[in-house]
């Protein structure tokens, strides 16, 4: 019988387990996730899909009701059906997110050449640990927000290509197909990953090879990426097309003209885009000074300002080398040139697409994770000396870590009942209609109502303008519901805000409704306190 020894386990497996455990343990320390998106749609949308409620309720999770829920199904099933304790579910998610560090580690490891294996692993380990300490990544660890889960696909795809370039001059066909497929799966799960998919398509053209190879690589990466996308998003596109006449619903509705929501604009969150050209050019320095330019919450992370400086310095170095010292090349380069030729355009293109299309900080989570890799590659390219590269990189890693202040998406103490909702208290609302008002996230309470309770929102962040079918259907349902079965779900803190109370009463009056304060029931959760009051119809 052979004795089990740690040395019998390969280094990649040991590192994967270590990074998984790091993510899981830190999640346990941080506490239970109750972020805004979880309360709004991450918990409701899987319930909607699994119980066939796509047209039964009216926007309980606001316009996000129609976001692909595939990524959220494992979490929902674990909490709602299997009733697995939240500490196990969230810590497993945290461990899964910890595997991002494994990808970062090996992306850098396989980008380095002419160095001892111990050196490559040491600098890669330090880069991965610096990636861990990122304002967005750390804040999302073990949460359902999805950015740190979808990032696994983007980083995995990039690693496959960089690994291939470390072994071959060009990318083997099979590896290229797998890389495109993996990226496409990620895009289908979370559409914001498309910025990394497009960046990979751009970056693949910068690898040293001939034009027939470039065209082949481009065709394969686009084709396999589309295949991956259809595997994870195709079913949802079919559902959106068959139900709402727009396969990308609720996006691009100015093109598809679905009557269910507004048709005069394409849905887009433009709150965080640069306000002028100067801001666009120097945005990392602007949002370092004022983080609310790119996020709802305060945070601090200098890495994108540092990345900006490093890339500008690299461009200056490249121009100097081209025009003033074209013959000088390093005898012992530290950086795989083809890997660098892929990585830098990928990083730069992703940032520029993000800047133009989103400018929402957490969507940069892949680049946040990759910035320590960029630091080592740029320094190693300009100063191809192992000691200088190591010492300068470590100094910059330390600077990043000590200056980071993560975002806070809200966590609470661990609980055996994730939201603290008692289903049996809501049994009386079987076959009733519950009206929702306002823009607060309340979708997470819907699965705890009886199966045939109908949730109808009359105001929200989008989709309920007077002439939309969503609005008309909401009005039709309310009109057809007997007064004894019609209720309003209110958040208690809004009752202390006179402006909201007046707006609510006005919106209800427009539908011929008033609140009956005598017939009300409290609904408590770990997050908010609610009141469910009967609505009276005014003749």
Residues 390-405 have pLDDT tens digits of 999 999 999 999 999 9
Confidence class for position 330, pLDDT limits 50, 70, 90: low
Give the pLDDT confidence score for residue 4 in this predicted structure: 42
Sequence-separated (6 or more) residues with CB below 8 Å from residue 146: 37, 42, 71, 72, 189, 190
Q: Is the pLDDT of residue 3 over 60?
A: no
Mean pLDDT, all residues of the chain: 95
**pLDDT at 450 (0 to 100):** 97
Count of other CB atoms within 10 angstroms of residue 25: 14
At residue 5, the pLDDT reads 54
Percentage of the chain beyond pLDDT 90 is: 92
Tell me the C-alpha distance between 267 and 262, whole Å: 9
Tell which residue, 213, 145, 150, has the closest CA to residue 182: 150
Q: Which helix (H) or strand (E) holds 519?
A: strand 513-524
The rounded Cα 206 to chain-centroid distance in angstroms is 28
Domain boundaries along the sequence of the chain:
11-30+86-403, 424-537
pLDDT of 1 = 41
- In this prediction, residue 471 carries a pLDDT of 97
Neighbours of 6 (CB within 10 A): 6
Cα–Cα distance list, 417 to 420, 448, 514, 532 (Å): 5, 12, 34, 21
Examine the pLDDT at 90 and tell me if it is beyond 80. yes
* Integer Cα distance of 263 and 270 in angstroms: 17
| Residue 247 confidence (pLDDT) above 70 | yes
Instruction: Give residue 9's pLDDT.
Output: 72
**Contact present, 463 and 441 (Cβ < 8 Å):** no
- How far does Cα 470 stand from its chain's mean position? 27
> Is pLDDT of 6 > 70?
no
What's the rounded Cα separation, in Å, for the pair 90 and 76? 12
Q: Which tens digits make up the pLDDT trace of 46-77? A: 999 999 999 999 999 999 999 999 999 999 99
Would you say residue 376 has pLDDT above 70? yes
SS (H, E, C) 523-536: EECCCCEEEEEEEE
Going by their DSSP bridges, the two strands 513-524 and 529-537 should be labelled as antiparallel
**Confidence at residue 321, expressed as pLDDT on a 0 to 100 scale:** 81
**pTM summary value:** 0.94
Residues 6 or more apart in contact with residue 419 via CB below 8 angstroms: 34, 444, 445, 448, 525, 526, 527
Q: What is the pLDDT of residue 328?
A: 63
Is pLDDT above 90 for 320?
Answer: no
Per-residue pLDDT tens for 404-439? Answer: 999 999 999 999 999 999 999 999 999 999 999 999
């Amino acid at each position: 019988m052979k004795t089990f020894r740690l040395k019998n386990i390969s280094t990649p497996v040991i590192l994967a387990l270590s990074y998984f455990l790091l993510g899981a343990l830190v999640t346990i320390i941080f506490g239970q996730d109750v972020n805004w998106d979880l309360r709004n749609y991450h918990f409701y949308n899987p319930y909607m899909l699994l119980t066939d409620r796509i047209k039964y309720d009216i926007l309980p999770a606001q316009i996000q009701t129609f976001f692909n829920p595939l990524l959220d199904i494992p979490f929902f099933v674990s909490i709602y059906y299997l009733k697995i304790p939240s500490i196990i579910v969230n810590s497993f998610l945290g461990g899964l997110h910890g595997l991002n560090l494994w990808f970062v580690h090996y992306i850098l490891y396989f980008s380095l050449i002419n160095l001892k294996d111990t050196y490559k692993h040491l600098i890669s380990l330090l880069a991965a640990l610096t990636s861990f300490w990122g304002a967005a990544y750390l804040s999302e660890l073990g949460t359902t927000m999805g950015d740190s889960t979808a990032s696994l696909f983007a980083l995995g795809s990039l690693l496959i290509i960089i690994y291939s370039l470390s072994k071959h001059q060009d990318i083997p066909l099979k590896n290229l197909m797998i890389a495109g497929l993996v990226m496409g799966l990620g895009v289908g799960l979370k559409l914001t990953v498309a910025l990394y998919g497009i960046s990979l398509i751009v970056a693949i053209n910068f690898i040293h090879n001939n034009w027939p190879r470039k065209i082949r690589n481009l065709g394969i990466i686009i084709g396999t990426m589309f295949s991956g996308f259809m595997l994870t998003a195709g079913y949802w596109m079919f559902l959106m097309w068959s139900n709402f006449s727009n396969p990308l619903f609720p996006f691009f509705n100015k093109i598809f003209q679905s009557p269910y929501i507004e048709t005069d604009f394409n849905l887009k969150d433009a709150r965080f885009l640069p306000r002028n050209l100067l801001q666009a050019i120097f945005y990392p320095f602007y949002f370092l000074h004022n983080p609310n330019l790119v996020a709802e919450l305060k945070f601090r992370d200098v890495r994108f300002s540092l990345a900006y400086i490093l890339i500008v310095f690299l461009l200056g170095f490249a121009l100097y080398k081209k025009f003033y010292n074209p013959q000088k090349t390093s005898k012992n380069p530290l950086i795989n040139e083809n890997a660098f030729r892929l990585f830098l355009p990928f990083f730069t293109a992703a940032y520029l697409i993000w800047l133009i299309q989103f400018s929402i900080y957490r969507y940069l989570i892949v680049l946040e994770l990759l910035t320590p890799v960029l630091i080592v590659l740029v320094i190693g390219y300009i100063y191809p000396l192992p000691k200088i590269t190591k010492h300068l990189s470590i100094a910059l890693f330390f600077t990043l870590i000590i200056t980071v202040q993560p975002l806070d998406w809200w966590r609470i103490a661990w609980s055996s009942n994730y939201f603290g909702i008692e289903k049996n208290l809501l049994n009386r609302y079987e076959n009733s209609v519950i009206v929702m008002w306002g823009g607060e996230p309340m979708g997470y309470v819907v699965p705890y109502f009886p199966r045939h309770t109908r949730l109808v929102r009359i105001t929200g962040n989008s989709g309920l303008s007077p002439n939309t079918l969503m609005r008309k259907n909401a009005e039709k349902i309310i009109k057809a519901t007997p007064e004894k079965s019609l209720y309003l779900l209110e958040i208690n803190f809004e009752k202390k805000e006179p402006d909201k109370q007046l707006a609510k009463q006005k919106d209800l009056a427009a539908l011929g409704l008033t609140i009956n304060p005598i017939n009300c029931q409290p609904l408590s959760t770990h997050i908010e306190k609610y009141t469910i009051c009967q609505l009276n119809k005014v003749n």
